[in-house]
Structure 1
């Protein structure tokens, strides 16, 4: 039986999900895979397929799910509710000052498409299931080193041909392709400046957006 789990995305990546340009996401394998050799614990440095087998065998598979499972997207949002008092002649609406119940909301607005400069936005981590507008179905899950990502996979991560696609500054490296430069900049903007160089093991999750 398939399962359903929440997953957080930034506004830039939500827009990529909406236009269909993002069909993959990479998330760090936690805790970091280790192996024991002669009573010495070291970072796992074996074959990705072998590591994935070992993780799944130990019940430590990808906690985002497996093929067939669904992910509902959490993003920055706000609820619009009725603000006029019962005795007012007209009905007005405004941004809720708290996280409202579904029955109280007249509509949901999303920062990714409405504009993050406005006020009253709720953090994505506080988005309830009923407010989510995007559901993804996982089609493939694999484990690999972060820097093993291909140019095609960089594009599938939502990195298009222009720097504006990732919504953050990027600095090119000699010999590095544009998609790879964009993905590296995106990754470091989310995970920190040293996160790319650390080259962690990651879950590469492929998905399709459901209607």
Structure 2
């Protein structure tokens, strides 16, 4: 078992807190090459997956590992609320701060990127229960919902355009459908994050399933 950080955006953090996100997908690196990979994958031991070309992938994250969530944040000193690096401070999280959408001057403090969140400031811990390798477009409707998608496109929080309509055209392998499916919304989210054409590229991804624990990873360990 290993403890590792994982970066998640504000919408995904809110989905974790709401109890609607139990999966995440990350691009497999390096991507397999050659025609033989069409025959699929086999798990050859507790830490490797092997494709039919006998290329073995030792995944960085495996079942049983714990992930502490890194999100956009700021540490504020007690009393005067000046930004600080100290663990003895109040931590604000952009995903749930009511002042998050104000500019830094109006809010009184800037945000720090998630990549700079230290372990002590994390408030969410994920325990990985399953790991599998698949094509991105193989995601099912149930898996899309497990990604935190509710299947309704309202323009937020997955669109940079707050005026987006609640109907949109998606292509989920059976033609163009004007329907707000969870898989369709996930496709739009993926392309928003990874860029135009990233869905059509259909890369191999690692799908992680996990349970969510509200609390710092070290506090949870001490309580246990």
Normalised by the length of structure 2, the TM-score is 0.76
Unaligned 5+ segments in structure 1 are 36-41, 83-91
Deviation at 1:58, TM superposition (A): 6.2
Q: Is 1:102 equivalent to 2:92 in the alignment?
A: no
Alignment partner of 1:6 is 2:9: no
State which of 35, 38, 42 in structure 2 corresponds to 1:45. 38
Matches of 1:101 and 1:46, distance apart in 2: 52
- SS in structure 2 at match of 1:185: helix
Q: Which structure dedicates a bigger proportion of its chain to helix?
A: 1
Give the RMSD, CA atoms, in angstroms: 2.4
Within 2, Cα distance between the matches of 1:162 and 1:81? 40
Structure 2 stretches lacking a partner, 5+ long = 105-109, 171-175, 215-224
How big is the shift at 1:101? Answer: 2.1
State yes or no: 1:93 paired with 2:80: yes
- 1:7 to 1:143, Cα distance in 2 relative to 1, 3 A: same
Say which of 130, 147, 150 aligns to 1:140. 130
In 1, distance between residues paired with 2:91 and 2:133?
Answer: 36
Q: Which position in structure 1 is the counterpart of 2:77?
A: 81
How far the C-alpha of 1:117 sits from its partner, in A, is: 1.9
For each residue in 1:110-151, what CA deviation from the matched residue of structure 2 results, as whole angstroms up to 9, or x when unmatched? Answer: 000004324210000000000000000000000000000000
Partner of 2:32: 33
DSSP 3-state at the match of 1:143:
strand
CA distance in 1, matches of 2:114, 2:56: 28
Q: Give yes or no for contact 2:151–2:180 (8 Å, CA) kept in 1.
A: no
SS in 2 for 1:102: coil
Which of 192, 204, 211 lines up with 1:208 in the alignment? 211
Q: Which has the higher contact order (CA 8 A, sep 6+)?
A: 1
**Equivalent in 63, 68, 75 of residue 72 of structure 1:** 68
Q: Which has the larger radius of gyration?
A: 1
Structure 1 moving runs of 4+ over 4 Å: none
Deviation at 1:62, TM superposition (A): 2.4
- Name the SS for the 2:77 alignment partner: strand
